[in-house]
Structure 1
Amino acid sequence: VETVTKVFYVDNVSAAHKEIIDRFNKAYSGNIEIVPINLPFSKFSTNERKELLTRALRSKSNQIDLFTVDVIWVPRFARWCQPLDEYFPVNERSKFVKSVLNSCYYDNHFYAIPLYTDISVMYYRSDIINRLPGAEEIEKKISRSLTWQEFIDLHKRLKENGLNYPFYVFSADHFEGLTCSFYEGIAGLKSKVITKDSVNLNSPGVKKTIQLLSDLVNKYKMSPPEVIKFDEYQGYQYALKNDAVFIRGWPGFLTQYNTVLDNAQKMKNIKMAPLPHMAGYPPKFVYGGWNFMISKYSEKKKEALSFIRFALREENQKILFKIGGYIPVNKDVYKDTLFMTENNELNNYLKFMENGFHRPYRKNYTRISDIISYYLQKAIQNQTSVEEVINSMQRAINSDETVIK
């Protein structure tokens, strides 16, 4: 009797992931079975997912074979994972979109394989904007990226026209999503504050960014105070329920959440646009995405690799995009002109990616990120001055301080 090898795979198992898993299990029936362990974004924030994975791997458990990590976690998880250099030679790696490859290396070894990439975006309610005089011109400007000042002025115009909706929802809970907004601000202002070897937060760019994030809530009243409780999913929920005009998010909002967030009518009026930027500087968008890693304690590495290769096939990358809105990492998808014509938003993502940037790759990145989001949230809550926030961040990063969640 043939025994089936069961591979335990931890991820946010969306409908798109499930389709790929089902196709694989059918193709390898009687031989390999992928058993998904679902940690959905609707129930677990990225930080909670990181903690659960860390705990399981620290205990050297062989109950997890394969999992995905936020691209920025690769250095953190490398110690528990199998290097993949010998399985994916350099010529094979060249099949991946170049921007994602950086995130797969740690310590000169190839530790991770991209499943999909991501780029931060903004969504807006075109039906609300269309109630303004000169709406067509406003939408054109939005699609090119407004400056923050133009964004602030647009908020005033809406209020003057009696459109008193929450204006801008972003995720300001103590987690990675808030840190991303911080990095976009400083990258847009060309402030290099975190390198491989040092962290120096005493720069005008850092001050300006923290001040802006605080002012959105406290000075301009453009963002509701509730944002300090939101990860992305909770932000989406609030924005739809309360008719927010603009939302910071990630690709796939319209496809991944259309069944969970029961607002089909409102969803139809949502358009995608680039995030605002500081006048005189280019817009900057943070790269996200999730990479496969294989536990070094797994006894089913070969079978896990079979699934990774399967998920990366051109037809399966297209399925991930069509069902889940996940941006493909296989270059061949972008060579299919018919597919690109039929899926024009992919061209928009490619445009955004020209201004994309990666967060710093450091082994202790998650610790630094936790400290930044913890103190940043205090500034947004107006609990302390921007200068104090910067000093506290710098002091905590330079010491062995850990932020208690």
Structure 2
Amino acid sequence: MHDIKWIRENPESFDAAIARRGVEPQSARLIELDEARRAHVAKLQDAQERRNAASKEIGKAKGTGDETRAQELIDEVAKLKSFVQEGEEEERKLATALNEALSTIPNLPLDDIPDGVDEADNVELHVVGEKPPFAFEPKEHFELGEGLGGMDFETAAKLAGSRFVMLKGQVARLERALGQFMIDLHTGEHGYTEVSPPLLVRDEILYGTGQLPKFAEDQFRTTDDRWLIPTAEVPLTNIVNGEILDEGALPMRVTALTYCFRSEAGSAGRDVRGMLRQHQFQKCELVSITRPEESLDELERMRESAEAVLKKLGLHYRVVTLCAGDMGFGARKTYDLEVWLPGQGAYREISSCSVCGDFQARRMNGRYRPAGEKGVRFVHTLNGSGVAVGRALIAVLENYQNEDGSVTVPEALKPYMGGLERIG
């Protein structure tokens, strides 16, 4: 959510910033909506003041025996009362119209974000490791998984339709090992507190992190008007929904290993084969709540935490800074970690770490009280994948494959695999 006061004071800067996100100028429309609301509020205040004054005059008129004047004032007060009651409903409508307009506009990119339209304009930050050499033609993950008897897409489709998979045997155990390894790493070495959140949330919770109202079609909704979470970012960030935190509680760092659910609306024909784009998948999520002056440093810390997963797994990857046109709705700056998949011969996103500033906090009304101050300020929120478990499974299968179709277990995962050296 944007600050209408800031927009009123900086309309040209606001329009220039959202233009970098591919959005046409909005400041004039927003200010017009705010002017209508402010003008109506002023009328209500005037009416309320006159009502209070007239109420006092009634007693004076009766005290002097002027019943005619007293009745005139009683009638005036009744009309003013009716006007105020009806006007309060109109004020709510005007405020709702302004908030709805503000809620569909993406966050403003930071000044150092590269300009661009899509992923082709993203800027490489650094590369870690080297592409593994193969003396044979590497297979894709679904070929390996099916060959090992560990991936069953047909049965999953029979049970649930397309974009689902049933994992079996040691491949299923490998997925579980990856998730446990990630959550242990982030809680044991990176200072995150593990949370096991609800997987179903209410409308206002999805609104708080920006999935509603603009991206309703990307979500799964239940018959009792709750939503399956598209990422644990949703419940984790909303821990501060409506809260006023003590400054000493910041930064707050939480992590969760959960299933996530996405309708993948608009992705027809993309990544049809295999596990890359599923309706249901596991992800280890990282969320930080910070003071404003700490959030950019926290983004670098979060990125390093996500990178640590890939480094310990011995995977080759690169980090890119997303251009303004490729960032998510709520982000001000985003790093994507893209892991190398030799079966595809391509880099694919496995983690995305973003700083949102106070954009989500305004929607959630999440605040903190600085030490020694009476007032409160909005917190800053950050979120990142630490990392996507299904895509990590894909990366391990493809990078650790052997010519006979078996897969070597990475050293970091052996303790979670009962010491198993190879899946074959």
- TM-score bucket of the superposed structures, by smaller chain: under 0.3
The structure that has the greater radius of gyration is: 2
TM-score (norm 2): 0.23
More strand by share: 2
TM-score (norm 1): 0.23
- Higher RCO (CA-CA < 8 Å; seq separation 6+): 1
